[in-house]
Amino acid sequence: MTYRAYVVLRGAKVMAKAKKVEQAEPKENPVLGHLAGYITELFISGDVNAFVEADLLQDLLVYKLDDIAKPMMQHTVKKIGKELKKSGKLDLKTRISGINQQKRIMFRSEDQYNALISLFFEAVEGKPELVDFIDDETSFENFMIYCINDYREQWERFVSEIVQERLDMERKLGLYANRNRADEAWDKVPTYADYVNERIEAMAASPA
């Protein structure tokens, strides 16, 4: 099977799933919604107190991701493409313990995993020259999984840095164990939504 045939077949299947979700929730972008949900869960995993902002973070991320999610994936594909051309191979087992590990462990749900696949296809559909050098199905699928993993890791670093900075600020102000929002010192602490709103555009910068 050629690369282009594989793209058409696999992309059609993924986008068909997305279309079904869209029909159920016509006002939402299912791909961005699942990506936003994944990122929101990362915040809560890093700091359980982020749970109170979950709805706000979800809405803010969907709005912001509309502009940066696809360009960021295209930058990622370009970077991994350069790595593949240079090394001649991508070792999934060494990097992420294989495809099943990536799919079943790294993502919280099948929907999140499929959303990232859909985003990958959207990215390469707009710039097919990024993957034209791949000429067989196995290599293409491995390349896709590698790109998705790298993309996911970028968001993990983004969230981890924000959570660490905010927790450090809470400790410095003596608020780490103090959840009394009447304390005026809390006015000095940005919300997680504030951090995301301020910094997310930088995620679209090329990682290459």
pLDDT band at 185 (very low <50, low <70, confident <90, very high): low
Per the model's pLDDT, the better-predicted residue between 12 and 93 turns out to be: 93
- State the average pLDDT for the chain: 79
Per the model's pLDDT, the better-predicted residue between 159 and 106 turns out to be: 159
Token digits for 70?
A: 């696809």
Token digits for 101?
A: 């590990």
5-9, 37-41, 145-149: which is most confident: 37-41
Asked if residue 19 has pLDDT above 80, the reply is: no
- Name the domain count of the chain: 1
Asked if residue 115 has pLDDT above 70, the reply is: yes
State how far Cα 38 lies from the chain centre: 7
pTM of the model: 0.79
pLDDT at 180: 58
Tally: H helices and E strands in the chain? 8, 0
Name the percent of the chain lying above pLDDT 70. 69
pLDDT at 5: 43
pLDDT at 187: 76
Asked if residue 123 has pLDDT above 60, the reply is: yes
105-114, 130-139, 154-163: which is most confident: 154-163
Domain that holds residue 8: 3-204
pLDDT at 183: 59
pLDDT at 91: 62
